[in-house]
Structure 1
Amino acid sequence: GYDMYHEYGGCPSGGVVAGITYVEGKQCIVVANDATVKAGAWFPITAKKNLRLQEISMENRLPIIYLVDSAGVFLPMQDEIFPDKEHFGRIFRNNAVLSAKGIPQIAAIMGSCVAGGAYLPIMSDEALIVEKTGSIFLAGSYLVKAAIGEDIDNETLGGAATHSEISGVTDYKMKDDEECLKTIRDLVGKLGPRPTLGFNREKSLKPKVAPKKAYEVYTENGAKPYKMVDLLETFIDADSFTEYKAGYGRTICTGYARIDGWSVGIVANNRELIKNKSGEMQFGGVIYSDSADKAARFVMVCNQKRIPLVFVQDVTGFMVGSRSEHGGIIKDGAKLVNAMSNSIVPKFTVVVGNSFGAGNYAMCGKAYDPRLIVAWPSAKMAVMGGAQAAKVLLQIQVSAKKKKGETVSEAQEQKLLHEIQAKYDKQTTPWYAAARLWVDEIIDPAQTRETLSLGIAMANNGRMDDQYSTGALQT
């Protein structure tokens, strides 16, 4: 991924090309090893990406197709991928659990499947193998020679003929890649019907505002205040928005809408500077007690009504200071986090701008199980903004130098400040976040509607708990 594993020459896309798509009219997940990246070897991020895709499959009961061509674990980093709970072995555990849940898994052995990587296709429901290129074995010919002295070539050891006609490990022998892919399509096309959750959907209406107008509402650096409703109108169905508590807690915009016909509840940060009825000025993008209270209530109502939730993030965090602390901002924020964390309806998150600190948490960041979380190219994700963080880090570093008896001039301080901020700003970009799977994808703002519709259709295949409970809720 982006800016990762420099010491090993990088690992583009984690060595895996994957996504959610349609095969023969059925929504599926496809996971394909990229053998041009370190022979398809598994880096730590490769395992993380595969586990995320299996998680999406499990939550939404989507068939998953594996196109396998992998040399197994990347040995120089084996300690970071082999033994822990969320490491390589978890993938095979998930294979078994997916199968037990009745979620179809089809694997095509199109290249080498070595060592632990040999289990993934064989723990799938059905396995295809391509003649001459596909092979599968726990140990390759060189290791067999070293271990037991047996001379054998890879094709005889674990090729298509061996596993289709002798061992019975694979189910279909394919003459080439093209036949293999056609057979996969045929198998998927013959899958039986699946029950759905029956989420409310009506005829789709185009947005009132053209999706590309989003570029005009949200400026690239995000400095210009804007009305969140104006942004929502670029991806929700025309005239479908019914705002909830429109005059209260206005730094968060809540309401019901339709996206491509699907009924959704929207929780979105409003970036306007607001003067409330009490005469208090409230900064846009900041969560106050009243907005947290409103959003928590709305999330609970959507769960009662079984309506999927869409969170739109452009948040700098919760309001600070004595007035907020005395007003109970911590308990009001906790109420929102509780209501959102315990949601039984599917949640989706779009990061359009800032996603800082506890604001990320309250607005359904990655830690809170969104079915999909996507980011616009304008997104920034961090504990706090770059300028503020750089000043804090500068104070720490200058203090450490002074304790050692070193003097720091103003020019040196400025140089250090710029270095710290440049590094910090690089780490807040959506590319940095996506490479580490903090978000599932970076999307063109004009694709927001299409992406959310695909996600809701996906979630409609899943299952949902019968009862919504928040436990001990702060009041």
Structure 2
Amino acid sequence: MSVFSSHWNSQGEQAQARRAATLERIAAWRALEARAADASARAKPQFDKRGQLLPRERVALLLDPGAPWLPLCTLAGYLQDRRDPAKSVPGGGMLAGIGFIEGVRCMVVASDSGIEAGAIQERGLDKILRVQEIALQNRLPFIHLVESAGANLMRYRVEGFVHGGSLFRNLARHSAAGLPVVTVQHGSGTAGGAYMPGLSDIVIMVRGRSRAFLAGPPLLKAATGEIATEEELGGAEMHTGVSGLGEYLAENDRQALGMARAVIRGFSESNRPVALDTSARAAMNSEALEPHFGADDLLGLMPPHHREPVDMREVMARIVDGSDLLEFKPLYGAPTLCVQARIGGHRVGIISNNGPIDVAGANKATHFIQWMCQLGHPIVYLQNTTGYMVGKDSEQGGMIKHGSKMIQAVTNATVPQLTIQCGASFGAGNYGMCGRGYAPRFLFSWPGAKTAVMGGEQAARTMQIVTEAGLARKGLTPDPAESQAQYEQIVAMFEAQADAFYTSGLLLDDGVIDPRDTRAVLRFCLDTIAEGAAREVRPMQFGVARM
């Protein structure tokens, strides 16, 4: 390997203009996250009156102080409720992330019961299914802080009810895989929500606050005419003393979270992050030299409109150990970059783009992916591509078949793959660079990233040409005003949907990240993957059944 020699002037006028645009996007993203936190915090008077902690307070008390925390899918649902963008509250009605509890790396999910009483939102369901998938893939214990009004019947959709069954199926799979599922029932869990504690290995309930029943008093009366109190049907004392649904009875939220920490403290050593060999960890840390260039430079590298060229080696040099890069076939398929490096001591292959993926680039990437699989090194994709090369020469050169080989290699890779959408992610380039449809272990977006089948102007001009050709066949001439209006409408539609905040709202990534945090996020994810692979689990035919 050799230390990269940077030619980027981070103090230049171009870099400073890009930096300002990126900081503006970061501020907008942080404001959206703050909007969700503020909306939840407005319920504090009611929570205080009930002697409860707010959801974010619960998560903070559960986690080890000062330990790393990787929030996931914080923009889930943004703009998906068809509200005014200024009023759309992201988050999907829940908090989720990977953090440490008593030294154990865990997936933590908490109902954001300060918003709509924690009712499960449409994208909230997608969010919990995604983080369950991450937890299963990476062998993480699943810790659930539940206080939810269940499905919002005013927004009932039958597909949400049907797909919601996957949530409970995943809990059963998790337990059967030998990965503990622990639930703290802070409040209500009705109907399907009652199966959250029902499918957990350990359940902690709070006296006077926890509720779990298949039918609450109103539904019970409507269905059978029977009249019963909430405590009789599903209170914490009943479930810990009569039904056996709960193992532990706490007096308040704070004590319940302390009990959860005690339960997790009792996990076997095989479920702890020290599962990585100590000597191997020490060797990795000794080799994890900081990059020679500051992470702050990443703010000014990526142009906001993706029409200006970017040397993605400059990005790599600011996220890999010691800025050491070993470039694979540097003279062949040059616009496609394939590099070996280390991140946090982990050996990785990195694939990125300095332009469209041409025939040579697709072949190079295919070779490199197979080489990384042979070595057993995870692959990191830094997306910045307008797609596969088009044109007569490209088509005659076999772009389709060579691009397909690359997609086959991505699909069938035997090593973990991680994706960062840094800039453009257009056309089949999204596929060949391991977009969401190719199930990378983790996928994050920079605030200025764009995802689309093509650029808005390309799409609009394409439709103009098609429309003009259709009118010409009929002997008609297009109206310039109508043509321009159509053009602007298509551009606006594509630009709105390509925006990173919109795509993140659709759960097309695992969250937006600050470019400066890219190295830390990748290192955290690579640690998570390595620990999961090393963790000893004891799978069973079935999950732990409630007794």
TM-score (norm 1): 0.89
**Residue 207 of structure 1 pairs with residue 276 of structure 2:** no
User: In structure 2, what is the Cα distance between the partners aligned to 1:238 and 1:106?
Assistant: 40
Corresponding residue number in structure 2 for 1:377: 447
**Residue 265 of structure 1 pairs with residue 343 of structure 2:** no
**Residue 120 of structure 1 pairs with residue 196 of structure 2:** yes
Residues 179 and 419 (structure 1), Cα distance of their counterparts in 2 relative to 1, 3 Å cut:
same
Alignment of 1:210-249 (within 5 A): 210-249=294-333
* 324, 327, 332: which one aligns with 2:394: 324
Quote the RMSD (CA, aligned, Å): 2.3
Stretches of structure 2 that go unaligned for 5 or more consecutive residues are 1-76, 535-547
* 72, 75, 79: which one aligns with 2:158: 79
Corresponding residue number in structure 2 for 1:182: 258
Whether contact under 8 Å (1:59, 1:463) holds in the other structure is no
The offset of 1:124, in angstroms, is 1.1
Alignment of 1:59-458 (within 5 A): 59-75=137-153, 76-83=155-162, 87-194=163-270, 201-203=284-286, 204-270=288-354, 285-394=355-464, 409-458=479-528
Residues 247 and 113 (structure 1), Cα distance of their counterparts in 2 relative to 1, 3 Å cut:
same
User: In structure 2, what is the Cα distance between the partners aligned to 1:38 and 1:397?
Assistant: 46
For each residue in 1:179-235, what CA deviation from the matched residue of structure 2 results, as whole angstroms up to 9, or x when unmatched?
111221222222112385879834221111101101222233333212111111111
Whether contact under 8 Å (1:197, 1:462) holds in the other structure is no
Corresponding residue number in structure 2 for 1:34: 112
Residues 10 and 41 (structure 1), Cα distance of their counterparts in 2 relative to 1, 3 Å cut:
farther
Hey, which of these two has a bigger chunk of helix by percent?
Answer: 2
Query: SS of the residue aligned with 2:428?
Result: helix
User: In structure 1, what is the Cα distance between the partners aligned to 2:200 and 2:474?
Assistant: 60
Q: Aligned letter for 2:199?
A: M
Corresponding residue number in structure 1 for 2:20: none
User: In structure 2, what is the Cα distance between the partners aligned to 1:403 and 1:25?
Assistant: 71
Tell which deviates more after alignment, 235-244 or 186-195.
186-195
Query: SS of the residue aligned with 1:183?
Result: helix
The offset of 1:7, in angstroms, is 6.8
The offset of 1:149, in angstroms, is 2.0
For each residue in 1:343-393, what CA deviation from the matched residue of structure 2 results, as whole angstroms up to 9, or x when unmatched?
111100000000011000000001111110000011000100111112234
Whether contact under 8 Å (1:218, 1:231) holds in the other structure is no
Tell which deviates more after alignment, 366-375 or 416-425.
416-425
User: In structure 2, what is the Cα distance between the partners aligned to 1:403 and 1:62?
Assistant: 61
Q: Aligned letter for 1:46?
A: G
Count of matched residue positions in the alignment of Structure 1 and Structure 2: 447
Q: Aligned letter for 1:19?
A: G
TM superposition outliers: structure 1 runs of 4+ over 6 Å: 197-200, 397-407
The offset of 1:11, in angstroms, is 5.8
User: In structure 1, what is the Cα distance between the partners aligned to 2:90 and 2:207?
Assistant: 28
Residues 397 and 14 (structure 1), Cα distance of their counterparts in 2 relative to 1, 3 Å cut:
farther
Whether contact under 8 Å (2:197, 2:245) holds in the other structure is no
Query: SS of the residue aligned with 2:203?
Result: strand
User: In structure 1, what is the Cα distance between the partners aligned to 2:323 and 2:446?
Assistant: 24
Residues 392 and 155 (structure 1), Cα distance of their counterparts in 2 relative to 1, 3 Å cut:
farther
Residues 81 and 167 (structure 1), Cα distance of their counterparts in 2 relative to 1, 3 Å cut:
same
Tell which deviates more after alignment, 361-370 or 202-211.
202-211
User: In structure 2, what is the Cα distance between the partners aligned to 1:388 and 1:78?
Assistant: 36
The offset of 1:238, in angstroms, is 1.2
Tell which deviates more after alignment, 376-385 or 330-339.
330-339
The offset of 1:399, in angstroms, is 7.6
User: In structure 1, what is the Cα distance between the partners aligned to 2:117 and 2:441?
Assistant: 31
Query: SS of the residue aligned with 1:226?
Result: coil
Whether contact under 8 Å (1:15, 1:35) holds in the other structure is yes
Whether contact under 8 Å (2:90, 2:505) holds in the other structure is no
Residues 408 and 290 (structure 1), Cα distance of their counterparts in 2 relative to 1, 3 Å cut:
closer
Whether contact under 8 Å (2:341, 2:348) holds in the other structure is yes
For each residue in 1:395-418, what CA deviation from the matched residue of structure 2 results, as whole angstroms up to 9, or x when unmatched?
566788999999853123212321
Residues 63 and 402 (structure 1), Cα distance of their counterparts in 2 relative to 1, 3 Å cut:
farther
User: In structure 2, what is the Cα distance between the partners aligned to 1:242 and 1:403?
Assistant: 56
Residues 396 and 324 (structure 1), Cα distance of their counterparts in 2 relative to 1, 3 Å cut:
closer
Instruction: Name the structure, 1 or 2, with higher relative contact order (CA <8 Å, separation 6+).
Output: 2
For each residue in 1:397-447, what CA deviation from the matched residue of structure 2 results, as whole angstroms up to 9, or x when unmatched?
678899999985312321232122112201000111111110101000000
The offset of 1:340, in angstroms, is 1.3
Query: SS of the residue aligned with 2:520?
Result: helix
